[in-house]
Structure 1
């Protein structure tokens, strides 16, 4: 999908990246979220990842200061920067054994500035579909698909609205996950599931 950024998102990214570039502790500024995926609307916020050292991450973790929102850096009404502090080691962990939603978080992400060599390649690896797990995933999803299909019938028999709702939702979920796995596309979690499925 070709990514087209609204002008005010571009301006906000520019303003925010310049602000964080002046902070020596910020090693890289990476844009993710709906803006990176090409899903943004005019009113969407701008999601960013700020890469920091492991030592600073631990300090921020102890202080519970790993995320923040900032409206002052936004150039448009109602807009804001939604930032998360992460480390290179975290990206390496996602690349090695991350879940599909964790990998999807870095799919389409783009580097605005970086003091870290090879960051683009690491982001690419972190957002790679784990093709080595494809066969196993398809088997598991197929089993879930068949099980929830059976539950739909059972829910109708006993007229259980709750069970029917759960069964239909999971039937759709695992049908979609089968399609995504077949096409080696990452499952983005529920928010973007149908959007990604539609392509």
Structure 2
């Protein structure tokens, strides 16, 4: 929308005069074309390494500004980065970070190769998707086939709801991996799954049943729906070790648990 474009132009005019700023990247709804008239403007401010280090030290990694906004109620939602930060993101970022740059556009830059670097961040190799399918279906099997059962047997309400939420989260992430689709965040999961092609019929109802009425019956129905939908790349014998590696041994592997990937 024109008022968003005008606000971005006003921000860039100010950024050009600050030699600690190397580039301004637009992401969020404005870059993806899903903005509303009152949407904020999401920006990534690429700083020099020294300026980024200072922002980190001062705990100013994300902040809001209104100076330059051309419409009532709007604001800039700013996150800071550096070239080294973006290069590391291409190798190690979690899905929400990668997904945030899926439709990003560079409003202004002093860097010649920034477009290629930004474009690399949302891409994942095929072997990563296969590994994710295995990891998430292992979680589906454990949360739906063990922890949920334990919760019922022990009359443990916390474990019951914990298993139900993690069961549906893992099932959704398994389907995202099957469809080679990044996880944008919890509040976007249902919306993303609803537009994908390779999702089992009745998925939304089965997920709702587990979350609204967690029980062995609803959990088993959901688990079986996911399990029988695809030829998942992990055997039953590999399930427990995969779950333990991805969850309980993060201290050893140095990787975050898979649900945070």
Q: TM-score per shorter chain, which class?
A: 0.7 to 0.9
Equivalenced residue count is 194
Name the structure 2 match of 1:62: 57
The SS at the match of 2:108 is: strand
* Alignment deviations for residues 77-115 of structure 1 (CA, whole Å, 9 cap, x no partner): 221001122101111111122222221222111101111
Counting only pairs closer than 5 Å after superposition, residues 46-125 of structure 1 correspond to structure 2 as: 46-125=41-120
Which one is further off, 50-59 or 111-120? 50-59
Rounded Cα–Cα distance in structure 2 between residues aligned with 1:96 and 1:110: 20
Q: Does 1:195 align with 2:191?
A: yes
Which one is further off, 144-153 or 155-164? 155-164
Q: Does 1:164 align with 2:163?
A: no
Name the structure 2 match of 1:40: 35
Name the structure 2 match of 1:126: 121
Name the structure 2 match of 1:173: 169
Rounded Cα–Cα distance in structure 2 between residues aligned with 1:153 and 1:43: 47
* Alignment deviations for residues 117-143 of structure 1 (CA, whole Å, 9 cap, x no partner): 111111111111242212221111001
Distance 1:133 1:61, change over 3 A: same
The SS at the match of 1:179 is: helix
Q: 5+ residue gaps in structure 1?
A: 1-5
Rounded Cα–Cα distance in structure 2 between residues aligned with 1:125 and 1:146: 33
Shift of 1:155: 4.0
The SS at the match of 2:77 is: strand
TM-score normalised to the size of structure 2? 0.67
How well do the aligned residues superpose, as a CA RMSD in angstroms? 2.1
Rounded Cα–Cα distance in structure 2 between residues aligned with 1:41 and 1:61: 32
Distance 1:43 1:126, change over 3 A: same
Name the structure 1 match of 2:19: 24
TM-score normalised to the size of structure 1? 0.86
Query: Would the aligned equivalents of 1:155 and 1:161 in 2 still touch at CA under 8 Å?
Result: yes
Rounded Cα–Cα distance in structure 1 between residues aligned with 2:157 and 2:166: 14
Bigger radius of gyration: 2
* Alignment deviations for residues 19-50 of structure 1 (CA, whole Å, 9 cap, x no partner): 21232221111011232244433332111011
